[in-house]
Structure 1
Amino acid sequence: MSEQDFIAGIPLVLGGNVFGFTAKGDEAFAVLDAFYEAGGRMIDTADVYSAWVPGHKGGESETVLGQWFDKSGVRDDMRIHTKTGMLGGAELYEPARVLQSLDASLDRLRTDRVDLYYAHKDYPELDIAQIVEAFDGTVRSGKVHALGASNFDAARLSAAVSQAEASGATPFTALQNEYNLVAREAYGPDLQRLVTERGIAMLPFFGLASGYLTGKYRSEADYAKSVRGERAKQLAGGNGPQVLAVMDEVASETGASLPAIALAWLVRQPGIPAPIASARTVEQLHELLEFTRLELSQDQIDRLTAAA
């Protein structure tokens, strides 16, 4: 499967982690409608979204998306990315369990196929051949078009690609790791080399560092105001303020918003055709989409890169 099997429309993957969590009902549908109308065609979700909310068990995001597909009638236009592997342990990667998880996601999404299906995390105790075989089974079932790996390091992703080649299985052609202006460890030079050499698409999550790179967290009081504040504080680390300072300079030079600057920087990094970012409201979505019209200079890219 090629990148075109799961990459389409404008270069933004809409993060589905907010649906059924902070964006529900008509508010969620309004964001999805606006994304579609703007040319957005890729949505990322997972069977674990939003199991972290008291009373939730996972699958809430997929359920909202399925309701929207029924309401909008645009499923055939969209590229749907979902993931499995977080709602338990290594037993989730037994071939039968992977197929069971896929079917449950399809029921919630109200569709008969997924465009990109991820192993949501690695289980290093498992032989990589087992993971490759299990996810290859989803493609052979006819219900999945392409496969991805999330939260894998370079050694395990390389081993997975090599195993797929040796066995004739469907390889992972996408990677979803954390990567943004303040948190870069999970997509270092070794992974960048691997994905560019192998033609793997890197679709980074936490592109806005849980909102930190929007600039709305400038003090301890700001963190306390948001349900994502503590996570944003962790992602910001010690370099956060100096990154925001350079982003403020670039915003002054370009007139662009900080979210647009953060995402425009991401798509200039090796192997990244599109970032993943979520929006709770239509207003937030429009702010995200600004990056598709922003051209950063090489000097601005270099200064942003050096800031952390």
Structure 2
Amino acid sequence: MTQAAQNARTRIGNSDLEIAPLALGGNVFGWTADRATSFDVLDAFTQGGGDFIDTADGYSAWAPGNSGGESETIIGEWLRERSSRDAVVIATKVSTHPQFSGLAAANVRAAADASLQRLQTDRIDLYYAHFDDTDTPLEETVAAFSELVDAGKVRAIGVSNYTADRVAEWFRIARAGGYHLPVALQPHYNLVERDFETNGLRAVAEEEALAVFPYFSLAKGFLAGKYRDAEDATAADASPRAGEAAEYLDDRGRAVLAALDAAADAHDAPVAAVSLAWLREQPTVAAPIASARNLDQLPALLASLSLELSADEIESLTAASA
């Protein structure tokens, strides 16, 4: 990694949190990556210049035998064993854990305490409302999150999977009540999923100076160049989401892959790094989120930190995915 890449930092909205512009997704920890592999990935990520880890209390309740909180537990054990808490920024989320569903105030408080216990830490750096809860008055949720900041349990607030109107409403309520404002937004956004640009979310992120952290940045592996034909999705080493990734294999998807290949060849860089570098350069995006379920997948993610695409390359990718 170049010295420039090592020195590159981005601020999370109006908070005092600064990170390297790449978030390591923790959704695989305790699911497709066991404890030992997760530790290896976390070690290599931080050694390679990364310092921002994204997880959620519900990861990975969907996996057979899991009950939720597995990812946070592994990250917490890694933090304890490596004594590395002050060297990383931790984001987690509330609303999907089977025992802590929704965003009622009592639930938010209880879920935050449970996450702190699993993470073995005294504060959550960035705490997201994971999914909107229309059964709970938004005023109640906004106040609960702000109270966690006042209590010192949370440093900054984020929202994920909200519509633009609901994000704007959160800000109206927070300002009217004198509550802490969100600083981050986590939407679904990548080269082949670009609704974020037109559904109002980018506009509200610009208006409120929100740092945007897109999830599924590599379109479930498609934008890593892993799936070039339908057979790739059924290979023995394919991920559990390979079938969904292969759905992008239409004319548009192949045009995107061709543009990615051209940029990757020009920079002698992995296709995944090009995809992440394009996303990082989009307005309001602070850092893409990407997961690695083994050490082999991590170098391509870290390579994005030092990859600078030209204006022509960015435009070519943008046009191919239009």
Cα RMSD (Å) of the superposition? Answer: 1.9
Unpaired segments ≥5 residues, structure 1:
none
**TM alignment of 1:170-209, pairs within 5 A:** 170-188=180-198, 190-209=200-219
- For residues 113 and 28 of structure 1, the distance between their equivalents in structure 2, rounded to whole angstroms, comes to 22
Cα deviation, residue 78, structure 1: 1.2
* 2:52 alignment partner AA: M
Residue of structure 1 aligned with 2:296, choices 260, 283, 300:
283
Identify which range, 178-187 or 143-152, moves more after superposition. 178-187
Given that residues 182 and 236 in structure 1 are in contact (C-alpha distance below 8 angstroms), is that contact kept between their aligned partners in structure 2?
no
> What corresponds to 1:7 in structure 2?
18
Deviations 1:35-74 (A, max 9, x none): 1112211100001111110111110000100110111000
- For residues 89 and 155 of structure 1, the distance between their equivalents in structure 2, rounded to whole angstroms, comes to 28
SS in structure 2 of the partner of residue 48 of structure 1: coil
> What corresponds to 2:61 in structure 1?
51
From the superposition, tell whether residues 87 and 26 of structure 1 become closer, same or farther in structure 2 (CA, over 3 Å): closer
Given that residues 178 and 187 in structure 1 are in contact (C-alpha distance below 8 angstroms), is that contact kept between their aligned partners in structure 2?
no
Given that residues 13 and 209 in structure 2 are in contact (C-alpha distance below 8 angstroms), is that contact kept between their aligned partners in structure 1?
no
Given that residues 100 and 111 in structure 2 are in contact (C-alpha distance below 8 angstroms), is that contact kept between their aligned partners in structure 1?
no
- For residues 247 and 62 of structure 2, the distance between their equivalents in structure 1, rounded to whole angstroms, comes to 17
Does residue 98 of the first structure (1) align with residue 111 of the second (2)? no
Identify which range, 147-156 or 231-240, moves more after superposition. 231-240
Cα deviation, residue 92, structure 1: 2.3
Given that residues 158 and 186 in structure 2 are in contact (C-alpha distance below 8 angstroms), is that contact kept between their aligned partners in structure 1?
yes
Does residue 32 of the first structure (1) align with residue 61 of the second (2)? no
Identify which range, 283-292 or 43-52, moves more after superposition. 283-292
- For residues 7 and 232 of structure 1, the distance between their equivalents in structure 2, rounded to whole angstroms, comes to 32
> What corresponds to 2:9 in structure 1?
none
From the superposition, tell whether residues 91 and 49 of structure 1 become closer, same or farther in structure 2 (CA, over 3 Å): closer
> What corresponds to 1:297 in structure 2?
310
Given that residues 24 and 289 in structure 2 are in contact (C-alpha distance below 8 angstroms), is that contact kept between their aligned partners in structure 1?
yes
> What corresponds to 1:259 in structure 2?
272
Given that residues 94 and 100 in structure 2 are in contact (C-alpha distance below 8 angstroms), is that contact kept between their aligned partners in structure 1?
no
From the superposition, tell whether residues 124 and 41 of structure 1 become closer, same or farther in structure 2 (CA, over 3 Å): same
Cα deviation, residue 125, structure 1: 4.6
From the superposition, tell whether residues 278 and 223 of structure 1 become closer, same or farther in structure 2 (CA, over 3 Å): same
Deviations 1:144-201 (A, max 9, x none): 0000000011111011112111111111110001100011114536221221221110
Residue of structure 1 aligned with 2:175, choices 146, 162, 165:
165
Identify which range, 135-144 or 259-268, moves more after superposition. 135-144
Number of aligned residue pairs: 307
- For residues 282 and 308 of structure 2, the distance between their equivalents in structure 1, rounded to whole angstroms, comes to 14
- For residues 20 and 102 of structure 1, the distance between their equivalents in structure 2, rounded to whole angstroms, comes to 20
- For residues 285 and 119 of structure 1, the distance between their equivalents in structure 2, rounded to whole angstroms, comes to 28
Cα deviation, residue 137, structure 1: 2.3
SS in structure 2 of the partner of residue 170 of structure 1: coil
Given that residues 177 and 204 in structure 1 are in contact (C-alpha distance below 8 angstroms), is that contact kept between their aligned partners in structure 2?
yes
- For residues 235 and 151 of structure 1, the distance between their equivalents in structure 2, rounded to whole angstroms, comes to 22
From the superposition, tell whether residues 6 and 22 of structure 1 become closer, same or farther in structure 2 (CA, over 3 Å): farther
* 2:76 alignment partner AA: G
Cα deviation, residue 249, structure 1: 1.7
Deviations 1:222-263 (A, max 9, x none): 112321212323466763222112111222222221101001
Deviations 1:55-109 (A, max 9, x none): 1111000010011011100011111000011235996211111010111111111
SS in structure 1 of the partner of residue 90 of structure 2: strand
From the superposition, tell whether residues 57 and 187 of structure 1 become closer, same or farther in structure 2 (CA, over 3 Å): farther
* 2:115 alignment partner AA: S
Does residue 78 of the first structure (1) align with residue 91 of the second (2)? no
SS in structure 2 of the partner of residue 49 of structure 1: coil
Runs of 4+ aligned structure 1 residues displaced above 2 Å come to 1-7, 87-92, 123-128, 186-190, 233-239
* 2:295 alignment partner AA: V
Residue of structure 2 aligned with 1:240, choices 253, 267, 284:
253
- For residues 91 and 29 of structure 1, the distance between their equivalents in structure 2, rounded to whole angstroms, comes to 28
